Amino acid sequence: MGFYLLMMGVTFTGLSQEKQLQYQSEYFVILVIDGPRYTETYGDTACTYIPNLCNTLMPQGTFFSNFRNNGPTFTVPGHTALMTGVYQRISNVGAGLPRNPSLFQYYIKERNALSSDAQIIASKGKLNVLSNTKNKQWKNKYRPYAYCGPNRNGLEYGPDRETVVKVKETLSGSEPPHLMLVNLLGVDVNGHGNNWKKYLDNIKYTDAYALEIWNAIQANPRLKDKTTLFITNDHGRHTEGHKNGFVNHGDGCDGCRHISLLVLGPDIPKNREISTEAEMIDIPSTIARMMHLGFPTGKGRFLSEIFTLKN
């Protein structure tokens, strides 16, 4: 009898899980545009440098106008927060692994998926560290496929146009990955180069790449109407007049913390703006919930306001 009740308990657990909301999305892409400042993107109401994001993509999705990096505002820590759902201090030159397993590792483990079913494609080679963790239970296991840096060398910086070619090639295949993280570096690199014109030019380039990636998703019948795209950032840049302004980032100023999130997909209401605060660690928790995937180490929250009607 005790055994029978135990079995019933298991059955009920199964039933209650099935009662969770079902989403149409089966594929998830996180596009990280590295280091633009909000004032040059959506904060500019004329949308001078992001015409595609503002005029073509925003009307098709839900936009978070108060989206934050509340951890260290550098590239590797920012991407680590997006992947593991935890803010942590971690080497920004790729000298250390994230402390916690990533959402991608949970996915590969729980679904017994191939490495190629969860992919990291990055212009910055140092982001190779996102494919592993130093957590003893997870280290060197369930690792997502990583293509970081030029020719996958895991070290140097490669041009965004080549990264985008690789991304589009992957998205147009017959077995695209269910999870993908993309990093584009041009904005950040030219900001550090103290080249205002090239910094702005690269915001325009990434704006065009974002549309190309969305169009590549729509062009593949496997992905169309089954894919949610998150377009976000790893960090911003110093507020104008604070330290050296757009040239650098890394502290807690509003320019460094205020980033953006635009979400598009079959489950996502169109043409909506949400002004409640949300943050980057919420992205992996939201994807985990949409996939009905356990993600116990993630510290973010499910962005339920996306799916409810009132703002």
Binding site for Zn ion (CB under 5 A): 188, 238, 251, 253, 256
Provide φ and ψ at 303, rounded to 5°.
-80, 70
Helix (H) or strand (E) holding 161: helix 160-171
State in angstroms the smallest separation of the CB of 192 from Zn ion. 6
Q: Which is nearer to Zn ion, 54 or 280 (CB)?
A: 280
Smallest separation (angstroms) from Zn ion to the CB of 72? 11
CB of 154 to Zn ion, least distance (A): 18
With 0-12 CB in 10 A as exposed, 13-18 as middle and 19+ as buried, what is 311? exposed
Note whether 236 and 34 are within 8 A (CB). Answer: no
Q: How far is residue 230's CA from residue 32's CA, in Å, rounded to a whole number? A: 8
The distance of closest approach from Cβ of residue 53 to Zn ion in the complex, given in angstroms and rounded to an integer, is: 21
Q: How far is the CB of 267 from Zn ion (least distance, A)?
A: 33
What whole-number distance in Å separates Cα of residue 53 and Cα of residue 228?
Answer: 15
Q: Based on CB atoms, which residue is closest to Zn ion, 126 or 238?
A: 238
Closer CB to Zn ion, 197 or 310, in the complex: 197
Closer to Zn ion at the Cβ: 65 or 92?
A: 92
Q: How far is CA 286 from the centre of its chain?
A: 11
Comparing CB distances to Zn ion, the nearer of 143 and 238 is 238
By DSSP bridging, strand 61-68 and strand 258-264 are antiparallel
* Cβ atoms 132, 145 nearer than 8 A: no
